[in-house]
């Protein structure tokens, strides 16, 4: 048996019991296969609670794609060898050298599920440790208590697995295990982070964007599609973006409502539309990038009045974050540089100089008496365009497919 390179996937087992566990693992395997699409490594195998991916080409590329699959806790580069001591020893030395090229402290830990293997676990550890010392002189020293670096040897039926160290995974839950929601995606810094937080907990997302063309430029929409393209890398499947034509609603509000309530009423329309799109796509929650106190529409009073238009749960994963924390997340995710491009958002176009910080529900409702709410909503939905974003690009979906909810997802 030739030595083979594998990546072994460790997943969080906390809270996973019985049937849930199988669902979780099946979904995780599926998502790994989707993330590796186009690479020769896409043949994932699962056995005895282990998910492994063979490394056939560029290990870094495979590892980088796996780092974007939620549900993975750690990725271990493994050498699989014949179940013979010399092969195990050579693999252990190579793994240690790769993890600690300049020397350091280590410990060998061995396990043996193949009980026919002639050495007991402690004997394997001693033989491997002895070999490492013999080959490297004083470069490495043994540390038996609280070792930072562990050379793991596992002798299993199908071969011996040897590894030292691991790369961190994205953690969270596999996308698709947490139901489906819509994310209100603006071109700002916050909402892409909210989308990431939704996906991290396993939620399958559809994005809803409100555009005010021609008051906002086509580049404003492009910015949102570029954000969706980055986010799609973490979704392991395309993300659909519903671009709602919001201009007529904004014009109607501007014409019929007092200026200081403009944002409040505009946002009530956004939530009504988001709820409708959610229903059409079998989604049962709405995510936003709001955080208390950030702007006038994010006071508790504003959120109360705005939120009153929907009974669907509105989830705000950034609710307690400061801007700095959100920015750091956005940088990690890879959306920050796109979000800070200077194109205007639909909110800024009609921004009144003094938006109401403490609006009242009765007043907002009274003002909406002057608007044809249902007709405006229906007209905006009728002019919604749907795009599908993947890490490689964005395509507009033909209308028939969009109407029938056929996104190829
Ligand atoms: P962001 O950085 O996400 O734009 P923000 O701090 O600018 O957030 P607001 O403009 O008040 O805050 O928007 C609050 C939330 O409402 C956003 O996080 C987003 O979820 C949603 N939202 C705002 N504008 C739009 C839009 N044009 N299309 C879709 N959702 C939007
Ligand atoms: Mg914004």
Q: How far, in Å, CA of 359 to CA of 303, rounded?
A: 9
- Tell me, in angstroms, the distance from the centre of ligand 2 to residue 248's CA: 19
Q: Are 185 and 241 in contact (CB under 8 A)?
A: yes
pLDDT exceeds cutoff 50 at 246: yes
- The sign of the CA dihedral 342, 346, 350, 356 is negative
Q: Is 282 left (phi over 0), alpha (psi -120 to 50) or beta?
A: left
Q: What's the burial of 216, exposed, middle or buried (CB within 10 Å: 0-12/13-18/19+)?
A: buried
Residue indicated by tokens 């365009």? 385
Rounded CA-CA distance 312/303 in Å is 14
Q: For ligand 1, what atom is nearest to the CA of residue 211? A: 27
| d(CA 316, ligand 2 centre) in Å | 14
Contacts of 279 (CB under 8 A, 6+ apart): none
Cβ atoms of 300 and 320 within 8 Å: the answer is: no
Q: Which of 168, 200, 229 is the last residue of a domain?
A: 168
Please tell me the distance between residue 220's alpha carbon and the centre of ligand 2 in angstroms: 12
Lowest mean pLDDT among 226-235, 241-250, 315-324, 390-399: 390-399
Is 333 a domain residue? Answer: yes
Tell me the average pLDDT across 328-349: 85
Q: What is the pLDDT of residues 163-208, one digit of tens each?
A: 999 999 999 999 999 999 999 999 999 999 999 999 999 999 999 9
> 247-279 burial by CB neighbour count: b if 16+ within 10 A, else e?
bebbebbeeebeeebbbbbbbbbbbbbbbbbbe
Nearest to 28 by CA among 65, 69, 59, 64: 69
Q: How far apart, in whole angstroms, are the C-alpha atoms of residue 99 and residue 254?
A: 62
Q: Is residue 409 part of a domain?
A: no
Is residue 313 in a domain?
yes
Q: What is the pLDDT of residues 72-100, one digit of tens each?
A: 999 999 999 999 999 999 999 999 999 99
Position 368 pLDDT exceeds 80: yes
Mean pLDDT of 151-158: 94
Average pLDDT, the chain: 91
31-35, 202-206, 339-343: least confidently modelled range: 339-343
Domain assignment present for residue 174? The answer is no
Tokens (6 digits) for 246: 């919001």
Distance CA 344, CA 350 (A): 11
Q: Are residues 25 and 90 in the same domain?
A: yes
Q: Specify whether 134 is located in the same domain as 229.
A: no
Q: Is the pLDDT of residue 408 over 50?
A: no
Distance CA 182, CA 367 (A): 28
Phi-psi region of 171 (alpha: psi -120 to 50; beta: other; left: phi over 0): left
Least confident interval from 6-10, 137-141, 174-178, 351-355: 351-355
Residues 196 and 277 occupy one common structural domain = yes
DSSP label at residue 334: T
For the segment 294-323, the average pLDDT, to the nearest whole number, is: 92
CA of 187 to the centre of ligand 2 (A): 7
Number of domains in the chain: 2
Closest ligand 1 atom to 287 CA? 20
CATH number for the domain spanning 387: value is 3.40.50.620
- The domain boundary, picked from 143, 168, 193, lies at 168
- For the CA of 212, the closest atom of ligand 1 is 27
**Ligand 1: residue whose CA is nearest its atom 9:** 290
Same domain for 157 and 199, yes or no, is no
pTM: 0.91
Based on the fold, state whether residues 127 and 275 are members of the same structural domain: no
**If you search the block for the tokens 């996308």, which residue do you land on?**
175
Report which bound ligand comes closest to the CA of 209.
1
Start-to-end CA span in the chain (Å): 40
Residues 164 and 213 in one domain: no
The pLDDT of residue 409 is: 40
Whether residue 95 lies inside any domain: the answer is yes
Please indicate, yes or no, whether residues 40 and 164 belong to a single structural domain of this protein.
yes
Ligand 1 pocket list (CB less than 6 A): 184-186, 188-191, 208-210, 288-290, 294-295, 297-298, 345-347
pLDDT category of residue 127 using cuts at 50, 70 and 90: very high
What span, in angstroms and rounded, lies between the C-alpha atoms of 195 and 208? 11
In this structure, are 228 and 357 located in the same domain? yes
Q: Is 343 exposed, middle or buried (0-12, 13-18, 19+ CB in 10 A)?
A: middle
Identify the burial level of 22 via C-beta atoms within 10 angstroms of its C-beta, where 0-12 means exposed, 13-18 middle and 19 or more buried.
Answer: exposed
Residue 293 has pLDDT above 80, yes or no: no
Residue where a domain terminates, one of 132, 148, 168: 168
- Both tokens assigned to 222: 């492009």
Residues 128 and 247 reside in one and the same domain:
no
User: What SS3 state is found at 110?
Assistant: strand
In a 13 Å sphere around the CA of 105, the CA atoms on its Cβ side amount to: 7
Res. 347: pLDDT tops 70: no
What are residue 52's DSSP bridge partners? 8, 45
Q: Is 40 among the domain residues?
A: yes
Ligand 1 centre and the CA of 92: distance in Å?
A: 52
Weakest-pLDDT range from 40-54, 190-204, 268-282: 40-54
Atom 8 of ligand 1: nearest residue by CA position: 190
How confident is the model at residue 406, as a pLDDT?
A: 45
Range of the domain at 38: 4-168
- 213 with 297, same domain? yes
**Claim to verify: residue 164 and residue 241 sit in the same structural domain:** no
Q: Establish if 389 belongs to a structural domain.
A: yes
* Same domain for 269 and 395: yes
The residue whose CB lies within 8 Å of the most ligand 1 atoms, and thus the one to mutate among 189, 191, 347, is 191
Quick one: what percent of the chain has pLDDT higher than 90? 77
pLDDT at 110: 97
- Domain containing residue 129: CATH number: 3.30.2130.30
From 182, 184, 228, 287, mutation site for ligand 1 pocket: most ligand atoms within 8 A of C-beta: 184
Judge whether 16 lies within some domain: yes
């Amino acid at each position: 048996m030739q030595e083979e390179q594998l990546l072994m996937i460790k997943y969080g087992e906390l809270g996973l019991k019985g049937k849930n566990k199988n669902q979780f693992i099946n979904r995780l395997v599926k998502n790994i296969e989707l993330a590796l699409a186009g690479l020769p490594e896409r043949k994932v195998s699962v056995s005895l609670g282990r998910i492994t991916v063979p490394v056939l080409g560029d290990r870094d590329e495979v590892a980088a794609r796996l780092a974007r699959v939620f549900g993975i806790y750690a990725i271990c580069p493994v050498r699989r060898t014949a179940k013979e001591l010399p092969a195990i020893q050579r693999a252990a030395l190579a793994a240690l050298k790769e993890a600690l090229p300049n020397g350091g402290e280590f410990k060998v830990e061995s396990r043996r599920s193949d009980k026919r293997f002639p050495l007991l676990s402690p004997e394997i550890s001693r033989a491997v440790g002895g070999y490492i010392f013999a080959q490297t002189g004083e470069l490495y020293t043994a540390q038996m208590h609280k070792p930072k670096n562990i050379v793991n040897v596992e002798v299993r039926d199908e071969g011996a697995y040897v590894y030292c160290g691991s790369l961190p995974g994205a953690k969270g839950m596999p996308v698709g295990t947490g139901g489906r929601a819509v994310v209100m995606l603006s071109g700002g810094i916050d909402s892409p982070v909210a989308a990431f937080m939704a996906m991290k907990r396993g939620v399958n997302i559809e994005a809803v964007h409100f555009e005010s063309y021609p008051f906002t430029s086509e580049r404003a929409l492009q910015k949102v599609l570029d954000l969706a393209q980055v986010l799609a890398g973490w979704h392991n499947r395309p993300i659909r973006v519903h671009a709602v034509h919001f201009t007529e609603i904004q014009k109607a509000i501007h014409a019929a409502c007092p200026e200081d309530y403009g944002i409040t009423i505009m946002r009530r329309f956004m939530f009504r539309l988001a709820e409708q799109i959610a229903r059409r796509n079998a989604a049962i929650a709405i995510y936003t990038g709001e955080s208390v106190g950030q702007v006038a529409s994010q006071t508790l009073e504003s959120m109360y009045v705005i939120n009153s238009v929907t009974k669907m749960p509105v989830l705000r994963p950034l609710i307690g974050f400061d801007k700095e924390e959100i920015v750091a997340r956005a940088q990690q995710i890879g959306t920050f540089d796109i979000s800070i491009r200077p194109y205007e958002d639909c909110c800024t176009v009609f921004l009144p100089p003094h938006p109401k910080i403490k609006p009242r529900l009765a007043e907002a409702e009274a003002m909406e008496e002057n608007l044809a709410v249902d007709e405006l909503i229906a007209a905006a939905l009728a002019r919604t365009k749907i795009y599908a974003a993947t890490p490689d690009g964005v395509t507009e979906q033909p209308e028939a497919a969009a109407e029938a909810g056929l996104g190829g997802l």
